[in-house]
């Protein structure tokens, strides 16, 4: 397939996207900050240093990367070559390698389980270096991956203590060339593994730990080695932090957390200074006595002697670095903290914090702050951040970006679009809004009216459907999915618990289904090999965990499945056996008979997995014999979007889509940036067939929808040369 030049124009709307930060990191050169969010996006921020010491944070890109919460970030390499590569992990097992300069996904992999942290390190192979990543999470093994291919090289196991790892770090002990992994399990046991410098085969044997030691009775939230001396280990727990000798793991000291605060993590900022941060967004600098700094004594006294010393509160020397968080915005998420130390001039020591409200704050730890011996003053206000920034700042400092139909109403304030559906055959877009109204308008004419705003042109002809008493949550045009459905049927679901059937051409409300007891979440079509009665139905899923089959022609509910104890996660079909299979978030699977509405069985565990796998096998076999149908909404055709944020007076940002031909339909699934179940051919289908396409997406569940207008330059030029006019639904 020949590549086409495509330019996406992002219509953000008047509301800034939410970006609840779950993890944060900087690139090796400290020029870029990368943040991961609870909704799966990655934020790319430029970090700029002026000669006068001023620091600026500029939001650059927002990447729709994962389908679940981003739980960990790591540098793919730790050198000046390929320094912009970042690896991200999600709690559904997804792993991605990103080029932060272009926002392109280079490689993907999926490892079952919830990943908690990624640790990058390198090994020397001959005269070169190979970069690897230690990945651990809510599973017993620790995986060692190739940093560029994301393939599992070998695993680290513990037959005597197989519980999950709560914290780990990579340490290179003094006078030893091999790195080791030092980890603390949930029970407080210390595990040590030797990392292999060479991997003989792809399926290498696992490595087992060489030592076990009880270091704490509490769950460890962080662990790190002193990078300045490689002679001490910091272990952070909720109520205390501890320091051990890295040579023999002898206990050196422990410090309790301040009243009503819990520690979340920490790091060494100097050979004799540690930085500890708490869950309320505050950080503390502790000056360690010389007796608790192995290696640092060697440099100053020439001979090391071990002393057992416990710091009392009167001996502590620390400063508080804090910035208040608006807890009303997102009170359930802890801030993400990260300490960055430049390894090659100008050696900036930076403390970064990402907040639940999407803000990034940076503190610069100067030498006078680190080496100060001034006692902590409980009444002091602390040291504020040097700079703070959020995506919402782009909306405050520039002209408010526009949405696709923001100027449709003359009320002075745009009504947010909560759900939208693009109909390429009619060049129409259907927009459901927060007030319950549904707008049907020509997509091409809406783009011209919104972006060009020609004098006296006004808005093109459009139709407004009124019927919902709350926010419109989902839309479905069944005829685009399968031609067996009537062309005039448009289905909408709302927060008022109702599903409404409309005539898309006349705007008439044909019927209202009041079947569910909760907000509608999604609407889907039934497969083509069902019975004739079920083929005229659509499937609806609601927030009360119920699933229904609604007959569009019969105007009644054919089946209601409402016994699910947990939220519905998956809908699958065994059409030949007349079964509707419902998978819930707790792993249970319910099998319903579609014709009678009876519950056939409820299973969990391996039996549930086997049933879901059998449904996938039937779907593949039926797809091979049945002609391919139209794909679902455009929002599910592209796995990720990289959008340049508005940084000038322009109402929306434009960024050239950098996609090579090997990232389109011809590329293999192993190297595709796609993370969803659909193949890479979806991207080619979005761009084919016309000069303009519209894709909709959301940053958060409650966020207004964002429209991405895809301009195919070649098709646009051809249409202009042949003087073709875009077709509309009118």
- Reading the block at residue 160, the tokens are 């005597």
What is d(CA 129, CA 145) in angstroms, rounded to the nearest whole number?
A: 15
Q: What DSSP character marks residue 345?
A: S
What is d(CA 611, CA 300) in angstroms, rounded to the nearest whole number?
A: 67
Torsion of CA 221, 176, 226, 191, to 10 degrees: 20
Average pLDDT for 255-259: 84
CA distances 118 to 90, 130, 370, 673, Å, are 11, 16, 28, 20
3-state helix, strand, coil in the chain (%, to 5): 10, 40, 50
Q: pLDDT for 571-589, tens place per residue?
A: 999 888 889 999 998 889 9
Nearest to 404 by CA among 440, 436, 450, 444: 450
Strand, helix or coil for residue 222: strand
Reported confidence tier of residue 343, pLDDT bands at 50, 70, 90: low
- Reading the block at residue 599, the tokens are 């519950």
> What burial letters (b/e) apply to 484-498, b meaning 16+ CB within 10 Å?
ebeeebbbbbbbbbb
Q: Has residue 629 got a pLDDT over 90?
A: no
The residue with tokens 């203590």 is 161
| Cβ atoms of residues 385 and 362 within 8 Å | yes
- Reading the block at residue 284, the tokens are 């503390």
What is d(CA 270, CA 283) in angstroms, rounded to the nearest whole number?
A: 15
Q: pLDDT for 150-163, tens place per residue?
A: 999 888 887 766 66
Q: Has residue 407 got a pLDDT over 50?
A: yes
Q: pLDDT for 409-455, tens place per residue?
A: 665 578 888 999 999 888 889 999 999 999 999 888 888 888 777 66
Q: Has residue 304 got a pLDDT over 60?
A: no
- Reading the block at residue 494, the tokens are 């709302």
Q: pLDDT for 484-514, tens place per residue?
A: 999 999 999 999 999 999 999 999 999 999 9
pLDDT of residue 71: 94
What is d(CA 586, CA 541) in angstroms, rounded to the nearest whole number?
A: 17
Q: pLDDT for 594-609, tens place per residue?
A: 888 899 899 988 888 8
Side-by-side strand order, sheet with 489-494: 472-476, 489-494, 499-503, 509-513
What is d(CA 496, CA 499) in angstroms, rounded to the nearest whole number?
A: 9
Q: pLDDT for 463-480, tens place per residue?
A: 899 999 999 999 999 999
What phi, psi does 524 have (nearest 5°)? Answer: -140, 160
Q: What's the pTM value of the predicted model, to 2 decimals? A: 0.79
Tell me what the pLDDT averaged over the chain comes to.
77
Cα four-point dihedral sign 689, 501, 530, 633: positive
Q: What DSSP character marks residue 416?
A: P
Q: What DSSP character marks residue 605?
A: T
Q: Has residue 642 got a pLDDT over 80?
A: no
Q: pLDDT for 448-468, tens place per residue?
A: 888 777 666 677 888 899 999
* Angle ∠(661,666,670) on CA atoms, nearest 5: 100
Q: pLDDT for 112-160, tens place per residue?
A: 889 999 999 888 777 778 889 999 988 888 899 999 899 998 888 877 6
Nearest to 366 by CA among 283, 270, 224, 286: 270
Q: Which residues pair with 462 in a beta bridge?
A: 441
Please write down the HEC assignment for all residues of 449-513.
Answer: HHHCCCCCCCCCCEEEECCCCCCEEEEECHHHHCCCCCCCEEEEEECCCCEEEEECCCCCEEEEE
Q: Has residue 21 got a pLDDT over 70?
A: yes
Average pLDDT for 184-193: 85
What is d(CA 678, CA 688) in angstroms, rounded to the nearest whole number?
A: 17
The residue with tokens 């802890």 is 334
- Reading the block at residue 94, the tokens are 């997804």
| Cβ atoms of residues 671 and 609 within 8 Å | no
Cα four-point dihedral sign 435, 440, 444, 446: negative
Reported confidence tier of residue 52, pLDDT bands at 50, 70, 90: confident
Q: Has residue 686 got a pLDDT over 90?
A: no
């Amino acid at each position: 397939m020949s590549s086409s030049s495509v330019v996406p124009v992002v219509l953000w709307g008047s509301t800034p996207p939410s970006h609840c930060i779950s993890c944060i990191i900087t690139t090796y050169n400290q020029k870029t900050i990368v943040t991961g969010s609870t909704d799966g996006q990655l934020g790319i921020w430029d970090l700029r240093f002026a000669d006068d010491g001023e620091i600026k944070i500029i939001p650059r890109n927002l990447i729709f990367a994962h389908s679940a919460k981003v739980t960990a970030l790591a540098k793919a390499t730790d050198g000046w070559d390929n320094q912009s590569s970042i690896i991200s992990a999600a709690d559904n097992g997804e792993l991605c390698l990103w080029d932060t300069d272009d926002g392109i996904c280079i490689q993907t992999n999926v490892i079952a389980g919830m990943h908690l942290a990624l640790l990058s390190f390198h090994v020397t192979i001959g005269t070169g270096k190979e970069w690897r990543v230690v990945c651990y999470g809510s599973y017993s093994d620790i995986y060692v991956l190739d940093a560029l291919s994301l393939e599992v090289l070998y695993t680290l196991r513990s037959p005597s203590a197989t519980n999950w790892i709560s914290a780990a770090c990579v340490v290179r002990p003094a006078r030893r060339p091999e790195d080791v992994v030092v980890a603390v399990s949930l029970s407080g046991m210390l595990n040590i593994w030797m990392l292999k410098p060479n991997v003989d085969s792809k399926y290498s044997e696992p490595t087992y730990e060489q030592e076990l030691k009880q270091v704490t009775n509490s769950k460890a939230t962080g662990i790190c080695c002193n990078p300045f001396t490689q002679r001490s280990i910091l272990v952070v727990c909720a109520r205390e932090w501890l320091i051990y000798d890295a040579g023999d793991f002898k206990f050196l000291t422990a410090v309790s957390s301040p009243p009503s605060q819990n520690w979340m993590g920490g790091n060494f900022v100097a050979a004799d200074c540690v930085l500890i941060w708490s869950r309320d967004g505050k950080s503390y600098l502790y000056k360690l006595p010389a007796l608790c700094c192995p290696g640092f004594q060697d440099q100053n006294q020439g001979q090391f002697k071990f002393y057992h010393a416990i710091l009392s509160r009167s001996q502590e020397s620390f400063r508080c670095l804090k910035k208040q968080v608006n807890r009303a915005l997102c009170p359930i998420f802890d801030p993400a903290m990260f300490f960055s130390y430049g390894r090659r001039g100008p050696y900036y020591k930076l403390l970064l914090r990402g907040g639940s409200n999407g803000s990034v704050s940076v503190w610069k730890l100067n030498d006078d702050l680190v080496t100060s011996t001034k006692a902590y003053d409980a009444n002091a206000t602390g040291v504020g951040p040097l700079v703070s920034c959020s995506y919402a700042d782009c909306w405050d400092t520039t002209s408010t970006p526009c949405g696709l139909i923001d100027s449709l109403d003359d009320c002075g304030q745009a009504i947010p679009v909560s759900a939208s559906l693009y109909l390429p055959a009619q060049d129409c877009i259907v927009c459901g809004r927060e007030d319950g109204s549904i707008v049907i308008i020509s997509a091409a004419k809406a783009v011209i009216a919104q972006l060009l705003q020609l004098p006296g042109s006004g808005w093109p002809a459009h139709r407004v459907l009124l019927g919902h008493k709350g926010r419109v949550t989902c839309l479905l045009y069944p005829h685009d999915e399968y031609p067996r459905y009537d062309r005039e049927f448009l289905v909408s679901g709302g927060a008022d618990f109702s599903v409404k059937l409309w005539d898309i051409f006349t705007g008439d409300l044909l019927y209202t289904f009041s079947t569910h007891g909760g907000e509608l979440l999604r609407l889907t079509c039934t497969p083509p090999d069902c019975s004739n009665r079920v083929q005229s139905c659509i499937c609806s899923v609601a927030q009360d965990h119920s699933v229904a089959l609604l007959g569009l022609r019969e105007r009644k509910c054919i089946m209601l499945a409402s016994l699910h104890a947990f939220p519905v996660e998956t809908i699958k079909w065994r059409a030949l056996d007349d079964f509707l299979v419902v998978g819930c978030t707790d792993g249970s699977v319910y099998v319903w008979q579609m014709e009678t509405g009876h519950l056939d069985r409820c299973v969990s565990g391996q039996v549930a997995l086997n049933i879901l796998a059998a449904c996938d096998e039937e779907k593949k076999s039926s797809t091979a014999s049945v002609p391919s149908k139209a794909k679902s909404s455009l929002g599910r055709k592209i796995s990720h979007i990289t959008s340049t944020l508005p940084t000038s007076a322009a109402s929306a940002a434009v960024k050239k889509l950098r996609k090579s031909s090997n990232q389109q339909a011809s590329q293999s699934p192993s190297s595709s940036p796609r993370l969803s179940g659909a193949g890479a051919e979806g991207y080619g289908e979005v761009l084919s067939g016309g000069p303009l396409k519209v894709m909709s997406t959301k940053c958060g569940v409650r966020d207004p929808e964002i429209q991405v207008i895809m301009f195919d330059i070649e098709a646009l030029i051809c249409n202009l040369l042949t003087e073709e006019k875009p077709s509309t639904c009118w």
